[in-house]
Chains A and B, each alone.
Chain A
Amino acid sequence: AAGVIQSPRHLIKEKRETATLKCYPIPRHDTVYWYQQGPGQDPQFLISFYEKMQSDKGSIPDRFSAQQFSDYHSELNMSSLELGDSALYFCASSFHTYSDRTYEQYFGPGTRLTVT
């Protein structure tokens, strides 16, 4: 079965550069979540999109922006990179059915960003 795809898997950038991370959700999933996990830290929620609209926002710096496109893939744009942005960035997707049940969230393998 198809899973959440993230690209690139590894990215090395210098300070003050720009990076774009991509996430391709599981087919028919309409919601995408972005998480940031620093070395030895818990994943921190950044932002989520449902049906191409921002649905929730967490600890995402103003230097970052994201969007979900018509094909439901999402891109996380990071500008003026800082050393502290070095982390693993997880994307997850889910499908929001009209029910009271919780929604399963499937995570991608992550993109490891290293800022030097």
Chain B
Amino acid sequence: AQRVTQPEKLLSVFKGAPVELKCNYSYSGSPELFWYVQYSRQRLQLLLRHISRESIKGFTADLNKGETSFHLKKPFAQEEDSAMYYCALTYTNAGKSTFGDGTTLTVKP
């Protein structure tokens, strides 16, 4: 069965510190992995997709198929990064996505 696990429910760092949000998945095929972000009282927004390998707002994420991980990283966290982050897995042909439970990131001044 497909599953996305975000082991940290809450993550708190100080401004300027590095941050890593963990995401592990289980899927037998070749998934597409995404990170979504939700700022306070706003809709879910796409942050990153692994196939594009681009950096958005200083965030990067590398798909590690050996470890079945897709951790989200940023070298220097900013206060405006405080939000809810969801890791999601999509089955390319079926179009179905499975989301993790989310990690609330708080960046303290």
Contacts and interface: CB of A to CB of B under 8 A. Distances in A.
Contact of A39 (B40, B44, B94, B102): B94
Interface in B22-48: 34, 36, 38-44, 46
Interface residues of A, number: 28
Contact of A102 (B39, B97, B99): B39
B90 interface: yes
A103 interface: yes
B84 A37 contact: no
Contacts of B90: 40
B69 interface: no
A63 B97 CA distance: 25
Contacts of B94: 39
A102 B83 contact: yes
Interface in B86-109: 86, 90, 92-97, 99, 101-102, 104, 106
B43 A58 contact: yes
Contacts of A43: 36, 44, 97
Contact of A45 (B43, B49, B82, B97): B43
Given A88-B96, A102-B40, 5 more contacts: A37-B97, A96-B41, A100-B40, A102-B84, A105-B86
A27 interface: no
A48 interface: yes
A103 B43 contact: no
Contacts of B82: 102
Contact of B84 (A58, A90, A103, A112): A103
Closest 8 CB pairs of A and B: A39-B95, A45-B43, A102-B84, A102-B40, A42-B46, A107-B99, A40-B95, A102-B83
21 contacts: A37-B96, A37-B97, A39-B93, A39-B94, A42-B49, A43-B44, A88-B97, A92-B44, A101-B40, A102-B38, A102-B39, A102-B84, A103-B84, A104-B84, A104-B102, A105-B38, A105-B84, A105-B86, A105-B102, A110-B96, A112-B96
A35 B44 contact: yes
Interface string B41-84: 11110100100000000000000000000000000000000111
